[in-house]
Chains A and B, each alone.
Chain A
């Protein structure tokens, strides 16, 4: 048995994601796992569940379910999982994860300020992540930005939108950084993040340096600076989000983004992202030296 059934429900409860996006992707991972465990192809599975229906249509539905972008009626989901030989507790878990809204989840909270599906997904997964790894190449990542910096960085946007987006960033801080049981956050920031001065009053960067120093003092947040001397250093912005698998004994789920608003980085390229992460951590200043860097940078100004 791949997981201990005796403790199943409590273990499952703990791993259920907070947001609809997180739950949908957990359901996707769960369905994929159960089908693989049963040794069935998507086509096999479709034929088993709906012998009468065109198997291509069924297969497509299963494919979408496993990609996390398609719902399924509860009765169909249960029939599918029974065909995979899933235990009752697992089926119950799957039904808990199943999206309540057939087409599109309702977009509330900070994600309402983002206008693309991809950025909304990002905001949700950021809220669900057990660990967040950030690479910053030019700009301080939103999660680590102070209010004045976030606002300054949105220069060029219409005033009302700019305010709404700044508020959305602050709301993300509340949900991610300030909640009980916050995620582990690791950031490697290129030195360029500090040389690139955001538009606005000169105090913005100083406030940002203080803010970053304060954040780095929290036990769950580690900040490293990658200096210009580091090779390969940090060339691009990258975020790696780790969500627990709904079945906790299985490997966690990892999602990668470039910049917010970009499409998520496809799973096939996540390994490459992991290599970027490892080399960034390996070549950046140690955390203590990074804090010293921030302090000296501020003093020199």
Chain B
């Protein structure tokens, strides 16, 4: 925080109980316990406008579990960096990955002090995982962080996890993702889930209301379509089935069928790319 009490536009920041934060609003909607009244109010305003938002957040969380399970279990990834991790509470990356391979290294990054402090508390006894206080928009800072350097070996493949974080990055800032793609070796993976505009006009109108409130009072967001998200992957090979609605990405339930009427499904896209 600056002397005037204002948060800088960039960079890691202190937790401010008077303003909702994305990490805490997410925690609230996922049924966690690490949020302030302002986060609860912001979450409620979002859910009132878009009552199925809690299901979207569940889809996102389930995608995280499927993809970390796959990368650890099938593709042999043993290092993850989770950008904009939020509060690393239940069923998060280190739990899923270390259940398969206990030696898996996990670094959580968040720009909010409270999320990082809680992460460190949860991970205190975990020698292979930590949480660092940094802003994804400052790749030089992030990549030079000594704690991150201590855990991640950039000569070996890394899973770069960007769950529901890139929609907080403006179009002008987005090219910095390339800096991360180039920092890791071939055979690494880039994982993205991202907010998108609903296809049906009715849901898009509701979404617009929720977005307006969230943008003004919590954090500004940029919804992107499939092509825009594909562009973030650069020259990475996008794995089957491509960039799809979040629950459609390699569902584990054999009876799963994509449901075009599911409003929560309409609101998010996901994809995984193999870096070459």
Cα distance, A279 to B29, chains bound together (Å): 8
Contacts of A286 in B (CB 8 A): 55, 247, 259, 262, 264-265
A65, CB-defined interface residue at 8 Å? no
Known A271-B41, A279-B54, A284-B55; further 5 A-B contacts with Cβ < 8 A: A131-B51, A274-B44, A274-B48, A275-B31, A286-B247
Cα distance, A7 to B21, chains bound together (Å): 32
Quick one: CB contact mask for B25-48 with A, threshold 8 Å, 1 for yes?
A: 000111100000000110111011
Contacts of B259 in A (CB 8 A): 286-288
| Chain A residues proximal to chain B, CB less than 8 Å | 131, 133, 184, 186, 219-220, 222, 240, 242, 251-252, 254, 271, 274-275, 277-279, 281-284, 286-289, 292
Cα distance, A240 to B29, chains bound together (Å): 17
The answer to whether B45 and A278 touch across the interface, beta carbons within 8 angstroms, is: no
Given known pairs A278-B31, A279-B54, A282-B58, the reply for A184 and B47 (CB within 8 Å) is no
Shortest 8 CB-CB contacts between residues of A and residues of B: A288-B259, A282-B54, A278-B54, A281-B54, A186-B51, A274-B44, A282-B58, A287-B262
* B35 → chain A closest CB, angstroms: 11
Cα distance, A97 to B178, chains bound together (Å): 56
Contacts of B4 in A (CB 8 A): none
B177, CB-defined interface residue at 8 Å? no
The answer to whether A282 and B30 touch across the interface, beta carbons within 8 angstroms, is: yes
Given known pairs A133-B51, A184-B51, A186-B51, the reply for A271 and B31 (CB within 8 Å) is no
The answer to whether B261 and A278 touch across the interface, beta carbons within 8 angstroms, is: no
The answer to whether A281 and B51 touch across the interface, beta carbons within 8 angstroms, is: yes
Could you list some 22 contacts between A and B, CB below 8 A?
A131-B51, A133-B51, A186-B51, A222-B52, A254-B48, A274-B43, A275-B31, A278-B29, A278-B47, A279-B54, A281-B52, A282-B29, A282-B30, A282-B31, A282-B54, A282-B58, A286-B55, A286-B247, A287-B259, A287-B261, A288-B257, A288-B261
The answer to whether A274 and B261 touch across the interface, beta carbons within 8 angstroms, is: no
Contacts of B48 in A (CB 8 A): 131, 240, 242, 252, 254, 274
The dominant DSSP class at the B interface is helix
B29, B43, B44, B202 interface centre (most CB from chain A within 10 Å)? B44
The answer to whether A271 and B51 touch across the interface, beta carbons within 8 angstroms, is: no
Contacts of A274 in B (CB 8 A): 40, 43-44, 47-48
Contacts of B29 in A (CB 8 A): 278, 282
Residue among A186, A240, A252 making CB contact with B52, cutoff 8 Å: A186
Cα distance, A220 to B53, chains bound together (Å): 16
Contacts of A133 in B (CB 8 A): 51
* A267 → chain B closest CB, angstroms: 12
Question: Which residue on chain A has the smallest CB distance to residue B261?
Answer: A287
Contacts of B43 in A (CB 8 A): 274, 278
Cα distance, A1 to B41, chains bound together (Å): 23
| Interchain pairs with CB closer than 8 A, number | 70
Cα distance, A260 to B247, chains bound together (Å): 36
Given known pairs A251-B45, A288-B257, the reply for A277 and B200 (CB within 8 Å) is no
Within 8 A of A (CB), among B214-266: 247, 255, 257, 259, 261-265
Contacts of A275 in B (CB 8 A): 31
B134, CB-defined interface residue at 8 Å? no
Quick one: CB contact mask for B80-114 with A, threshold 8 Å, 1 for yes?
A: 00000000000000000000000000000000000
* A68 → chain B closest CB, angstroms: 19
B152, CB-defined interface residue at 8 Å? no
Contacts of A254 in B (CB 8 A): 48
Contacts of B264 in A (CB 8 A): 286
Question: Which residue on chain B has the smallest CB distance to residue A249?
Answer: B212
Contacts of B30 in A (CB 8 A): 282
The answer to whether A222 and B263 touch across the interface, beta carbons within 8 angstroms, is: yes
A271, A274, A289 interface centre (most CB from chain B within 10 Å)? A274
Question: Which residue on chain B has the smallest CB distance to residue A252?
Answer: B48
B57, CB-defined interface residue at 8 Å? yes
* A226 → chain B closest CB, angstroms: 12
Question: Which residue on chain A has the smallest CB distance to residue B260?
Answer: A288
Given known pairs A222-B263, A288-B261, the reply for A271 and B55 (CB within 8 Å) is no
Question: Which residue on chain A has the smallest CB distance to residue B41?
Answer: A271
Question: Which residue on chain B has the smallest CB distance to residue A185?
Answer: B51
Cα distance, A245 to B21, chains bound together (Å): 25
